[in-house]
Structure 1
Amino acid sequence: MKKYTIQNAPFVVPTTDGKIIKEHFGLATDKNSQLSIAYMEAPSGWSEPFQTPEFDEFTFIIKGKKQFIIEGETVILETGQSIKIEKNTKVQYSNPFDEVCEYIAICTPAFSIDLVNREAK
């Protein structure tokens, strides 16, 4: 029995805002409720509503920039930077910049629409 898993077919999350989400490990792929890892591409001009997730979220910027509004404070991350946002923290994610932002998101426990607590737009 192999003691590793190579992910060649991540779950592509359907979106309507131009964002690309490819979950490599997590609830949608291997039913892991403890951790999710996803590759994302946020197009220029993209944003999500404020949310207060019930999971810690780690973000690593591969390319471009991403804006976070965390409890009212605006933080901008650039290529090579990372951040941990603790669960039960009000946050909004966006890309108001001129280029696509590529990044990796890791959530513990795993991302779930039931745990994200998004506000209405």
Structure 2
Amino acid sequence: MKNLFYLLLFISFTSYSQSIIEEGSSNIIPKKLLIQDNIERIILDYTQSDEMGLIKMHAPFGWTEPIIEAKFEIRGIVLEGLLGLEYQGSEDHIVSGNGFVIPKNTRVRIFNAGKEELILVEILRPAYKEELVQKFKNFKS
């Protein structure tokens, strides 16, 4: 699993990075975002292009997103904690060290299913844009 993580990072930085912070440097300093869902979470955004987004998320115990449907694929690895993915009629739990895939146009609720902080890395293809995400009150609407 560690090899997959490094491969995903390598692909994202070498194939899709359009800019660097300093000339002659490969160092990318993330943009820190505070996102207020039911509880505030921290997103470190390493995205460099519209083709692919790369984020690291820190979500506290009790955090949940609303039900969403994204017009982009989400792939990721749980670094710490327990990730919950709720779909209509089913729920998956992804443990630390394991990866996950949420296909584009899939209705899902993403949440911290554990009792500790959830830390994960996500690769979004294409990169996140607010207009590519719809929020829902339930799975049927």
What is the TM-score of this pair, normalised by structure 1? Answer: 0.86
Question: Cα offset for 1:120?
Answer: 4.9
Q: Which residue of 1 aligns with 2:26?
A: 5
Unaligned runs of 5+ in 1: none
Question: Cα offset for 1:84?
Answer: 1.0
Q: Which residue of 2 aligns with 1:85?
A: 102
Q: Which residue of 2 aligns with 1:53?
A: 70
Greater RCO structure (CA 8 Å; 6+ sep):
1
Structure 1 residue ranges (4+ consecutive) displaced by more than 6 angstroms after TM superposition: none
Unaligned runs of 5+ in 2: 1-22
Number of equivalenced pairs? 114
Larger Rg: 2
Q: 1:79 to 1:21 in 2, by over 3 A?
A: same
Are 1:100 and 2:117 an aligned pair? Answer: yes
CA-to-partner distance for each residue in 1:1-60, whole Å, 9 max, x for gaps?
75x7321x21112322221100011xxxx3x11100001111100001101100000020
Q: Please state which structure has a larger fraction of its residues in helix.
A: 2
Once the two structures are aligned, what percentage of the paired residues are identical?
23
8 Å contact 1:55–1:86 — kept in the other structure?
yes
How large is the RMSD of aligned CA atoms in angstroms? Answer: 1.7
Query: Which of 105, 110, 115 is equivalent to 2:132?
Result: 115
Which amino acid in the other structure matches residue 14 of structure 1? L
